[in-house]
Structure 1
Amino acid sequence: LRGLKFFATSRPDQDLVEHLQSFQNKQFYHLRQVPVEEADADINAYLNAELPRFQDTPEIKKLVEQAAGLFIYAATVVKYLSKLKFSLSEQMRRINRLLESGVPQSTKETPLLDRLYQQVLFDAVGQFTDDEDEDENIDFTHRLKILHTFLCSAEPISIHVVANLISFSDAPNFTETVAHVLTSLHAVLYTENDKVFSYHKSFTDFIFNENRAKKFWCNPQKFHLLLSRICFNIMNSELRFNIANIQSSFLLDCDNAALPDAIKQNISLVLRYTCHNWVYHLSLANSNKLANTMTNFLKLPVLFWIEAMNLMGSRGLCEYMLRGARKVVMNNTPLEEAFAEAASFALYFSGSAASLSTPHLYISSLATWRKTSGLSWGWKTHFPGIPKFVHSAGGAALMTITTASPVYTIALSSDGKYLVSGSEDR
């Protein structure tokens, strides 16, 4: 349309900048080009509107000076002071704590936000640190893990999922603890549709920088290793054969009216998260410390994982995820080969009609899987009742079904779905 214009605001992401540079008609406006007086006036108006109890007070003036033209600073201050409807005296105490550091010598963004985020975190979790009180240190560690889990999750997750990911035997009512931490971090985190989000990327940048976050720092690689281990523990604990208790292999999943409820009842929210995201955490951990855990996972639970993913409608991700895991273990040849075979099997199943009826993961796909490696042989030994196939290029039998007595006649249904046999015992 003639005259139509788009206005986009963003951090100076290099890919986005390069993309916008390719536009024929464009105009860039950088935040640093805004006169600080204009920014201060906007921040002053914003703080007076959002903090009416302090309208035109010296405290507002000092906060404007301390913001130094950064609106994200002012916005975080407002959330810090007003989100929970604090009393006037509590708001005043919080303002005084923010102002105690004085007007910064530098107007750069990082020092400003660092002081603010440090204060927010101290009020939320830092009060539980006491070198002489072991119990308080445990509380601090728990609360810090909750925060780090929210920030390191592969996707926005709920309080319930976090509570189940980071649960402790000595922490009863842990869901309440997670909820309390989230509430106390209202200035930097918020909930929408039962999922937790961070208000601004500057907060995650702060948390992942050791020099800036100090005792609140999250070591991403180490924490993703922890989450990887947790994912494997949950999958090993909750995944099982026929997890949805499907009674018949003669029905397609879409024709099984009871299946959606069975999936919801038997595949918990935290299991859904771990099934979909264990490779994400594993790849960011980039460690060989879980080699034994992965080896054990591939021996059998990987089949239960493919089963669960198929039930959740995510079978197309299985091969991609397993090949992603393979990249993590490239220096471990046996494990690399095992992941490659598991990925090939996942593709073999997900790309076939067998995936339309989940039980056929075992009785069709596994039964006809041609590989004869130790891994696939091990899979089949767990299911001795599945049909046995002999793959041959000649005229030899392709399949053998063992019966209790001689078979005198067989018949194939017209739709090709059923094979009926007649023998002495039935």
Structure 2
Amino acid sequence: RRACTPETRSEIIGKLKAWAKDTFTESSPIFWLSGLAGTGKSTIAYTVCQYLKEENLLGASFFCSRNDPNARDRKNIIPSIVTQLLHCGGALFATALCALPLGTILPDNKQHVNELLVQPWLRARASEPDPRKRHQHLVVVIDALDEVENDGPELVAELIRALLAQDTRLQGIKFLLTSRPQPKIVAECRPIDHRAIYSTEQISPDDATDDIRRYLRVELPQLHEKYPHSVESIVKHCAGLFIIAATVVRYLDPPNDPLSLPQQKKRLADFENMNVALPKANKHEFRVDSLYRVVLDQALPIEGGDEHEYAKRVMYAVVTARQPLTVSELAPLVALHSEPDEWTDTDAVTIIIHRFHAVLYTSGHDHRVRTYHKSFRDFLLSTVRCNAHAEAASDYFYYRTTTCLQVMEKALRFNMGGFPSSYPLDIDDQDLAKRIKMNINKELEYACRFWATHLSSLRHENERNIREALVHFFRLKVLFWMESMHLLKIDCRPSMHLARDWARHLKPQNKDLNVLMAAVDMLWASFINNTTSQSTPHLYISSLATVLAMSAMRSISLPDWQSSFPGLPTVKCTGILHEPSLLIIQREGHNASVHSVAFSPDGMRIASGSDDLTTVRIWDATTGTQVAKMKGHGDSVLSVAFSPDGTQIASSSGDETMGIWDATTGAEVAMMEGHESCVYSVAFSPDGMRIASGSADLTVRIWDATTGTQVAKMKGHGDSVLSVAFSPDGTQIASSSGDETMGIWDATTGAKVAMMEGHGDSVSSVAFSPDGMRIASGSADLTVRIWDATTGTQVAMMEGHKSCVYSVAFSPDGTQIASGSDDSTVRIWDAATGIPVAKMEGHDSKFRSVAFSPD
């Protein structure tokens, strides 16, 4: 990184210096500097860091970067800042941090700001005996928050809440934040004092032009002296964008291969002849793109030969890499042929990198190849901005995915750790680290870590032979991949989540692939959640053997892994003990009551609806981690349901609306209006074409799931409709109400089929059995009841709950019923006899919703 050229960006730098030194309590603890790509935010931030360091005011800095996995990962930001503060925040801060309870030194990402920074800082300041030190302060700089993967806006929100809250307002520390003006970040930054918000767009055009002119005079002194008019044409084209000026400087003056003045003039002519017909919108972006096209025309060899194709592969390998790679790591990944030849030589890669010197560079400290600015990557991967190379980018994602699969196919094998025995724990194996380094080289490590990431970027129309390669990989090699990932201390679940999401959109669906992926999820969960994971060989000896036996007992289809391991212990499973008190995962994330939960059809995700911020959230059912958060309702989310194909989620709210959301991206698909009061319940029809809803306006309604239009409205209940459910064949809808009754309705015409009575209080929930022959109900009269769906007669009544029963659900095989109650228990009942099977406790409050996983 480098600082601003002297006497440039003077206004904003002066403003930041004054803010940083202002110790008055009225001074905002946060300053937000925003600006479009290429306007110099990072350079300004670095310049301010230098000043703060000289003034002994710099507490910490973190420069986020999409180029670096560690610098784009949310979990590293606050711990890094805290570590830096320990060196300058005094012994009291260190003591306060060390006073955290055991196990909270690295809490969940969502707790970092409060647990690692705010609370220790408050304790340290409160115990500071010297009044003079209480008035001292430090500044923390976090640059490019828009480059944090997924969680940038959330981190901004947490910092703002912590720093501006009256009860925890931090004294003695300030934060300078920079980012692009992304809508979510803009929304989160609204509470900041307007005097502490500055956009590079506020720099006057004349000042921006003067700054760039000074910069070019310093960087290109000979060219400016000899050809001042040509340099002035650069200034004009830059239009205040420093990214253009810096790229032109590198284009005209390569760092490792200086050009003569005539050569510089020749290249400058290419730039001056550039046709720039500015569009009405995105003018800044267009100027940057036009420069990048000039750079590509100069750097790429003539089309039609191997050299041109090779140069493109190197270029795309750099911009799509999930972590920066060295030249030696790039070489085998961009080879044109499978056999070693001139195109696997590191010298060839080095030559290509030099050709792209204006946009790519090799870092001096770790020798990894990076882009100078993320706008080059954005340009190359945009079908709109770089249409000439868009198809090449798509092809490269295909190529990169297949290359990773080929690398793993060739290198992965049984016992990647070279274990001589399964008896010692990994931690006791003194030579394990050496064997891992020897058996898993950087090329294989990259393929293991990022094959799924590249797969997720592959358009489905370009899948070609990918699905067959994936099926082949999952039949056996995936076991050795899991072993390697465990040796590398990397969780397999994020990769599997990406792969499942990609496979979910295949048309037609590949049943074999779905079965294989489910088997991998089952095996990894069995291994990683067990103490046997302390010894890697037990992935095979214990977990694989046990999972194979359990799958046979439960008639679950698994790959023929047994035949590949004839020496695997044979486990005979005579039964499966259901331990009712065993809580597998308890996940916190909502900040208020959770009203409804639903499993996705493949059992891999859970949707939830809550009072907090009117959100619907999606969770990974294996890890419990939050996958997506959807906002759009204006009141509590009271019910959620997955579509039968798992692609959409329906929600209902106290704001009288229902929403449909994309289950992968979390994007809003539709918002349906029509009810005149709270909508308590939603349900998809088995074919996914209709949605039923029940409301406090006493009606049941049916909606077209594609258009969102109302199809039918059914009246008959005398109080709020609290629950609705489709029959398995989609011909009927059951409803329950606060009027102590249940209704059955024709799902096509909306006609009333039957009304069932028997409960002595509100009926909170109804559910059809999988065969459609029975209906279960739960009521405020503390009972769970079973009814004949054909005659409407009561079949059984189960008593045991001590308070209102809010939710009931049949198991997928119809043999059991789960019920959740206000008495803080979930109970399992035999669906045939009504006999209680199990009682589960875990929540400190009421169970509003229960759901069985599909398996």
Report the 3-state secondary structure (helix = DSSP H, G, I; strand = E; otherwise coil) of the residue aligned with 1:246.
coil
Determine the structure 2 residue equivalent to 1:179: 350
Cα 1:392–1:211 change in 2 (3 A) is closer
Cα 1:216–1:324 change in 2 (3 A) is closer
User: What displacement does 1:218 show?
Assistant: 5.2
- Choose the corresponding residue for 2:405, options 232, 238, 250: 232
Q: Distance in 2 between matches of 1:394 and 1:346?
A: 19
User: What displacement does 1:278 show?
Assistant: 1.1
Counterpart AA for 2:512: P
- Structure with a larger share of its residues in helix: 1
Cα 1:286–1:338 change in 2 (3 A) is farther
CA contact under 8 A between 1:65 and 1:103: conserved in structure 2? no
What do the CA deviations read for 1:363-408 (whole angstroms, capped 9, x no partner)?
111122222378646111111112111111399xxxxxxxxxxxxx
Report the 3-state secondary structure (helix = DSSP H, G, I; strand = E; otherwise coil) of the residue aligned with 1:388.
coil
- Decide which moves more: 295-304 or 196-205: 196-205
Cα 1:238–1:374 change in 2 (3 A) is farther
Counterpart AA for 1:140: H
1:51 aligns with 2:220: yes
- Decide which moves more: 369-378 or 70-79: 369-378
- Choose the corresponding residue for 1:21, options 177, 190, 206: 190
Q: Distance in 1 between matches of 2:183 and 2:278?
A: 29
Counterpart AA for 1:268: N
Determine the structure 1 residue equivalent to 2:313: 145
Determine the structure 1 residue equivalent to 2:263: 90
Flag the structure with more relative contact order, 1 or 2, with Cα contacts below 8 A and sequence separation at least 6.
1
CA contact under 8 A between 1:145 and 1:166: conserved in structure 2? yes
What do the CA deviations read for 1:331-375 (whole angstroms, capped 9, x no partner)?
333321220121111111112122211111111111222223786
Report the 3-state secondary structure (helix = DSSP H, G, I; strand = E; otherwise coil) of the residue aligned with 1:55.
helix
User: What displacement does 1:25 show?
Assistant: 5.0
User: What displacement does 1:156 show?
Assistant: 2.3
CA contact under 8 A between 1:249 and 1:360: conserved in structure 2? yes
CA contact under 8 A between 2:415 and 2:537: conserved in structure 1? yes
Cα 1:382–1:72 change in 2 (3 A) is same
- Decide which moves more: 291-300 or 154-163: 154-163
- Decide which moves more: 50-59 or 254-263: 50-59
Determine the structure 1 residue equivalent to 2:359: 188
1:385 aligns with 2:572: no
- Choose the corresponding residue for 1:333, options 511, 521, 535: 511
CA contact under 8 A between 1:189 and 1:199: conserved in structure 2? yes
CA contact under 8 A between 1:323 and 1:339: conserved in structure 2? no
Cα 1:48–1:62 change in 2 (3 A) is same
Q: Distance in 1 between matches of 2:556 and 2:325?
A: 38
- Choose the corresponding residue for 1:312, options 477, 484, 488: 488
1:342 aligns with 2:520: yes
Structure 1 unmatched ranges of 5 or more: 396-426
Q: Distance in 1 between matches of 2:576 and 2:308?
A: 69
Cα 1:87–1:49 change in 2 (3 A) is same
Determine the structure 2 residue equivalent to 1:41: 210
Alignment coverage as a number of residue pairs: 386
1:158 aligns with 2:333: no
1:11 aligns with 2:173: no
CA contact under 8 A between 1:76 and 1:188: conserved in structure 2? yes
- Aligned 1:62-211 pairs, distance under 5 A: 62-82=233-253, 83-84=255-256, 85-101=258-274, 108-125=283-300, 127-129=301-303, 134=304, 137-169=305-337, 171-192=342-363, 193-211=366-384
Cα 1:221–1:340 change in 2 (3 A) is farther
User: What displacement does 1:143 show?
Assistant: 0.7
- Aligned 1:273-312 pairs, distance under 5 A: 273-287=446-460, 288-289=463-464, 290-312=466-488
Q: Distance in 1 between matches of 2:287 and 2:197?
A: 26
User: What displacement does 1:104 show?
Assistant: 5.9
User: What displacement does 1:195 show?
Assistant: 2.5
Q: Distance in 2 between matches of 1:219 and 1:201?
A: 19
- Aligned 1:259-270 pairs, distance under 5 A: 259-270=432-443
Report the 3-state secondary structure (helix = DSSP H, G, I; strand = E; otherwise coil) of the residue aligned with 2:499.
helix
Q: Distance in 1 between matches of 2:530 and 2:302?
A: 55
Cα 1:213–1:22 change in 2 (3 A) is same
Q: Distance in 2 between matches of 1:102 and 1:50?
A: 25
CA contact under 8 A between 2:515 and 2:557: conserved in structure 1? no
Report the 3-state secondary structure (helix = DSSP H, G, I; strand = E; otherwise coil) of the residue aligned with 1:113.
helix
Q: Cα RMSD between the aligned structures?
A: 2.5
User: What displacement does 1:240 show?
Assistant: 0.4
Determine the structure 1 residue equivalent to 2:542: 364
What do the CA deviations read for 1:247-302 (whole angstroms, capped 9, x no partner)?
12111111111111111111111111110111111112143532211111111101
CA contact under 8 A between 2:30 and 2:196: conserved in structure 1? no
Counterpart AA for 2:423: F
- Decide which moves more: 103-112 or 284-293: 103-112
Report the 3-state secondary structure (helix = DSSP H, G, I; strand = E; otherwise coil) of the residue aligned with 1:285.
coil
Q: Distance in 1 between matches of 2:449 and 2:497?
A: 14
Determine the structure 2 residue equivalent to 1:323: 497
- Decide which moves more: 18-27 or 377-386: 18-27
TM-score, normalised on structure 1?
0.83
Counterpart AA for 2:396: F
User: What displacement does 1:103 show?
Assistant: 7.3
Cα 1:102–1:359 change in 2 (3 A) is closer
User: Which of these two proteins has the greater Rg computed from alpha carbons?
Assistant: 2
CA contact under 8 A between 1:322 and 1:340: conserved in structure 2? no
Q: Distance in 2 between matches of 1:28 and 1:196?
A: 34
Report the 3-state secondary structure (helix = DSSP H, G, I; strand = E; otherwise coil) of the residue aligned with 2:295.
helix
Q: Distance in 2 between matches of 1:312 and 1:394?
A: 33
% identity of equivalent residues: 31
Cα 1:223–1:374 change in 2 (3 A) is farther
Report the 3-state secondary structure (helix = DSSP H, G, I; strand = E; otherwise coil) of the residue aligned with 1:8.
strand
Structure 2 unmatched ranges of 5 or more: 1-22, 35-178, 578-855
- Structure with a larger share of its residues in strand: 2
